Each structure stands twice: as structure tokens, then as C-alpha cells.
Structure 1
Amino acid sequence: MTKSDTISNKKDLLLEQREELLRALKARFEKNMHRHKGVEWVKVQAKLDANPEKLWSLNEMERTGGEPDVVGHDKKKGEYIFYDCSAESPKGRRSVCYDREALESRKKHKPENNAIDMATAMGIELLTEEQYRALQKLENFDMKTSSWVQAPSDIRELGGALFCDFRYGHVFLYHNGADSYYGARGFRGSLRV
């Protein structure tokens, strides 16, 4: 293993990456105060400074086009909640099937990856249907794309998975085979810090 391999496998950011990410997160936070009324950036940054592995996950969200932003504060747990807030499903996470089982079941034209493994590698979780609906109350997302959401085990056991989008002024929840993938479908993630 080379020195560069060691650095690339580590879930730490270089100082320049960290500063660039914090600048982007702060600018997005200040531009979209309607997403997190009553939350102060100074307190969010203090939590991020104390949790570098979470900052690494936020960088992965940012790197793949998610535009993460604070959407809530769990006062009981003392955690800030980040969701992907890109207007459309993150570009760097599209054309993926739902999970590894679905990926391995495809005989032809396999996608490069799957949503569950990608999210796990990034240190985030797919949004649930409820989280997706809550996100849509802040503003409209996925007006041209769709996003996988967590599928209940009974649906997944039958080969299905769920995705959502926003059309005609409403959030729609749909089903599809977990092995399906489309250029306009990705996934949105959540992270607690």
C-alpha cells in the first residue's frame, strides 16, 4: 500500500478540503434560512468541528451533487440533521439500482452501483418516505427526477423498492423492481451530527 492509498482510505479531509466545504455549507445555510429557522451556524460548525468523520460524510454528499443543508435540530439528542437539498436528485448518485441483492440479480446491463451500498460507504442513510415528505414541505425538490427512499422489508422481500418525486404540486410515492435503474433516479441522504 502506498502513502497515497493510506490517505485516500482515511475518512479525514485535508485542511483545504475542510475549509472549502465549511465555506460552502455556511453559504448554503445562510442563503436558505427557511430550512432551519432558529438554528445558529456557529453551533452547527462547533458540532462539525467535534465530529470530523461527519464532515467527511458531508463532503461525500457535496462531492456527489447533494448540496447538503441543515433541515432540523433534534434538541433531545443535541444533533443537527442534514439532508441532500439539491433541486434534483444528486447527479453523482443516479443510474443506480436499490441494493446489492438487486444489483447481483441483474443478468444484463448492470448499473455500476446501488443506492444502499453507496449511502453506507458515504456514512449516510437514504431518506425514508416521511423524511422525503418533510423535505418537500421546505421547498419543491425532484420536479424532473426521482429519488429512491427506504423500502419496508416486506416490499423488499418481494423484489420491490420505493421511490418518490414531486409533480403537479404533490409528492408521489411509487414502486419499482429493486433491480431497476434510470438516468433520472438517484437517492437523497440524511446525516445527523
Structure 2
Amino acid sequence: MKIRPALPHHIDGIHAIYADAVRHGTASFELEPPNVAEMTRRYQALVEGGYPYFVAEEERGEVLGYAYAGAFRPRIAYRWTVENSVYVAPTAHKRGVGRALMEALLAECEVRGFRQMVAVIGDSANAGSIALHRACGFRPIGILPSTGLKFGRWIDTVLMQRELGAGDATVPDA
């Protein structure tokens, strides 16, 4: 498995993973998977916005998972804080893919000068994602109860946070 920056030719694999997550899981609160064109638009917006986007690939080039960081909130005062997303193909769960992607994402966000990373995790029952974030140094900061309605049930949102680099010990150069 190799972790590398995502490129446009990875979008089909990224789309397949995300479409499965939307259809069968609660990590995303989307109800219908976006099409490949929309996934391409989202990818381009993140990369052009200066945010990191990675894929995990097998030797044959199959995308096993992907991770990216994006703006936590649009207001300028939030510019040093990013929100992460990590998705792993169902066939690649429990193989260290999510951890490898998260570690690459954390390192790259620190290099780019970001100071905080927030995880907005769909479903308080999403033990795998919560455990991954905890193992990577995130701490729980809250639960927003019953904020999503999917598959006929209310779903919580779990918030976790991790400092990057100097965190809030210093003020970054503007």
C-alpha cells in the first residue's frame, strides 16, 4: 500500500468508496451519492484551495481509501483550523489504511501551517472512526445529539479535535 497525493485519475475509485459509504453507512449525512462530476468538482476545490488530499493505493493502483482536509468554517478567523475526512473501502477495513491516511494528512496539515484539526464524525455508534481518531491523538469535545436523520433514525454527530504543530501555544504569522 502506498499513500500519495490524490490525482484526477483517482476520482473514480474515490467516488466508488464514497458512494458505498453514503448508501450503506452513517459517516456521511448525504442521502444520495454525488456523481463523478460532483466528486471531481469537490476534489478540485479542495486542492485549489491549498488543502491536502491523499489516496491509499494497492500496487495495482486500486484505491483503498482516501483522506482530505478542508476548511472547518468559511469565516477568516477559522483559517488555521481544518476539518478532516477519511473513507476506506469496505474490503480494506481493519488493514491500517485509515491510520496510514490519517498520519499522512496530519503531517501534511502541520507542514502547511494549520494549527487545529476537527473531526466531525457521523454517528456516535461509529466505533471504528472514533477509535481511529483517538489513536491519532484526537480528544472528544462533544456530541450533538440527533442532528442527522438517515435510514429512518436520528443520528448523533461526534466532535473530536487535535492540535497540529504548535497548536494554540503561539500565534501563526499571517
Give the TM-score, by structure 2 length: 0.38
Query: Between Structure 1 and Structure 2, which shows a larger proportion of strand residues?
Result: 2
Decide which structure has greater helix share.
Answer: 1
